[in-house]
Chain A
């Protein structure tokens, strides 16, 4: 019985599937068939195995799972009949892949079939091996394949050649065994064998330098001769394609010559004549001829210099580029891209044509042309090309704008010599396609603007004008909002007019209008709105006359559902309302951003500096809130009014504002800290008890931890990002805890071998860790945590949790109580036993040891990573959540503990909600 023609049921199944009107119907049919096949597999049904497999292949093609048929393939392959084997192998190639362990089972069958007396069966096995073999199979079966390269039948030799490619790619060590047999294949007359032999040689050259040398020496002439033969061969009907004998073979030969000639003058010399002949004699009115010319040009470009040939090649390219067939134009662009390294001058000549191609209606051609043009830009043509590209941006299709914008921005950044030109071009791009601009591009623009002090007035006025007409372009709006906030008075007073400018009259309320519109625009996202609030705060000081109006706008966000906006609105409102005296110093203009640092950061930590939209939102408020932190202490009347001026944190604030990842800022903390006078709560706490020089390694730990926290506790706190608040609300916890109590941990480090550590202490809460080790068991450490509540309110529902890295074991005893009485009337203690399974094996980080000043293996230290407050709405009551994150250095691991406690302010009733988020670094 023939398995292929008698499969009426296969036909029925295909018909049934074709008759399906909906995807659901199709799924039902497939499900039914799959079930039937599975049943047949279970019954070990011999007669229908091949038919079932054929069905499975069809089902597989439709995209349904077919793994249950894999074993069937193996059974079919092991059977003796050719048709069964044939479909078995086909199934093997379609349904299996080299990653599946089942494949190992087939090695034996393959070996038998490679030695089979029937050459067709040998061919089948080679084909399967060539398509799916794994490294192990390659090792096992390489000798067979090597032998088959000399098989009497050419159809087997050609398959063995391709199979060898797979083998040497999987196991490059085996390459040397194949060099000699491969060289022998190059002398063959059979097209298939020659074609595959060339491919094998090409791949051998890629893997082994010696092979390349060998072929160069022994085979260059024979390959040249083979090309001559095929070029000059008489009409051969079997291989003829539109008057050319076997263009595929032409192409393979040219490609191999390219490899031989590349970097070798003698070999290049040897092939000059035949390349010239191909380049001049090949018919270029048919696709097949053009395919050969295309390959020939590439070979000429790759081999060692021969000016005559190069001229020929460039001429062919010119002809291609002006061809009316889009396919030919496409490959011409592709070709020019490779030719540019060889002969940039020749490519530059076609610049105008290429520019036309950028404007083509065909997306593929546009994309190629744009990439090529990007490579063509240099100092001398950058201005004209940028102008053209920006003009085209206005009319280009939406889906092309993204690519085009990215390229223009990149060109402008790379080649800008004058700031004013850079700013002008960027503003044009932002006005045209601001929504396609990546965040780091407009961040860079702000850095440049900040540095161009003589252009501040010009820029802010240009932005004001631009935003009137292109208010829907988000990133333009952001830059404009930032600049108006910073340089608003220059806009109104027309300070620093340049000659080229047309004077405009802008009133203070016009400037505020722009921000208000941006704030309320429906497309504005959180970042933009947050920037608007900052700008308004700044303007309230710059434009005292508008102060009242600004306050009203700010207050409108008091009820915003977005926590970030709500908080800003409330805080800024306080500043405007009650703190006239410090406001002007609070909202001073930003210090100039360091361009070198910023560009270094962009280049150095690329993944980190391409912030996701979320990332930008996180970092921005983070930085922004810091300077305001100190006055807030004041505002909430919970601390004395000696808040220091925040200006010292200006520089990292700016980096953060610009969406630069937090890491650079905090890794700098070591240096910055020296100048800081305890203003910045976060940084201050970070560096407690640590010498400045070492704090960088320290804070990078924290950083990776807080990254984790960001994701893990976000939902828990119903806040978009807890990290924002961790630093944003730096002081409210301080107010709760009454002031900037420095952490006393530093005083403890020189104590006994296992010093007890005050992890956190403030006016309201003290957390202390005591360490002890049971004698004779150095692996285990007991940590006793003692919590004392010094505030006048009772904390209830106290929960403390901790987590450890995998090599540690943690046993957490129950806490002595879950209520923490007020006014230090008692405390809760809780024991943790930590067992280090790799005690003595896991090497400790030396820097952390010296950091603590202990030399024992269980050096420990602690500190407060961050403290903060979150406020959120729940049942209409504003609830403040205070939290603190600690870290504990333990035998080379860092444990991080985050405690969150809630209290309901409005009712005065205590709501303590303690959540502990832990995570570990290292």
Chain B
């Protein structure tokens, strides 16, 4: 299992989406998110996109006001995770059309559905945007 959690956090450090692939209690989550966000948001553009925290490696990338943070274990290919974040953003872009923080907030469940089609139990399932979005579009059409 490579990916252990995925977070989307805005510039102010508020969590906008959180998906964990391992069990953490609510308190642990809050603490972890707080620590990670503080660490990552303090870094500048030139510094590398990887931060080691506890036994996680956090790969993060910033898109406008939104930070995408992915916690992985040590075995994972960090560069590939960066690419994965980009794929996630592109997929959301394709669905929402230039995705922004508010899209994710008000369509939290859709963001989760997309994530569900991309990652399961910490592994990447699908890398084709069309395949990822197909079930979601189908559902939109049906309603």
A contact residues vs B (CB 8 Å cutoff): 2, 4-5, 11, 14, 18, 54, 57-58, 61-65, 82-83, 86-87, 90, 93-94, 97-99, 120, 123, 127, 130-131, 155, 158-159, 162-163, 165-166, 191-192, 195-196, 199, 238-239, 241, 246-249, 251, 287-288, 290-291, 294-295, 326-331, 334, 361-365, 367
Contacts and interface: CB of A to CB of B under 8 A. Distances in A.
Contact of B21 (A4, A131, A287, A329): A131
A287 B109 CA distance: 30
B79 to A, nearest CB: 3
Given A239-B128, A327-B48, A61 B15 contact: yes
Interface string B14-45: 01111101010010011001000000000100
A63 B79 contact: no
Contacts of B23: 97-99
Size class of B's contact patch? Answer: 35 or more
Contact of A4 (B50, B52, B105, B110): B110
A756 B34 CA distance: 63
Nearest to B82: A287
Given A241-B86, A291-B77, 20 more contacts: A5-B143, A18-B105, A61-B18, A63-B30, A63-B33, A94-B19, A97-B23, A127-B116, A130-B121, A155-B131, A155-B135, A246-B127, A251-B80, A290-B79, A326-B46, A327-B82, A330-B78, A362-B43, A364-B52, A365-B47
Contacts of B139: 82-83, 86
A90 B125 contact: no
B64 to A, nearest CB: 17
Contact of A251 (B43, B77, B129): B77
A248 B80 contact: yes
Contact of A361 (B18, B47, B79, B82): B47
Interface string B101-131: 0000111111011001000110111111111
B113 A86 contact: yes
A123 B83 contact: no
A120 B78 CA distance: 32
A128 to B, nearest CB: 9
13 contacts: A14-B106, A61-B15, A61-B16, A63-B15, A94-B19, A239-B128, A288-B83, A291-B80, A291-B82, A294-B77, A330-B50, A363-B47, A364-B51
B84 interface: yes
B26 A65 contact: yes
A331 B78 CA distance: 7
A220 B129 CA distance: 29
A30 to B, nearest CB: 13
A4 B109 contact: yes
Given A98-B23, A127-B116, A364-B48, A57 B127 contact: no
B79 A294 contact: yes
A366 to B, nearest CB: 11
Given A83-B139, A99-B23, A247 B121 contact: no
Given A61-B15, A192-B127, A291 B79 contact: yes
B87 interface: yes
A14 B52 contact: no
B125 A162 contact: yes
Given A14-B106, A166-B121, A248-B84, A239 B50 contact: no
B140 to A, nearest CB: 9
B108 A162 contact: no
A874 to B, nearest CB: 41
Contacts of A87: 109
A334 B110 CA distance: 36
A159 B80 contact: no
Contacts of B126: 155, 158, 191-192, 195
Nearest to A155: B131
A364 B80 contact: no
Contacts of B106: 11, 14
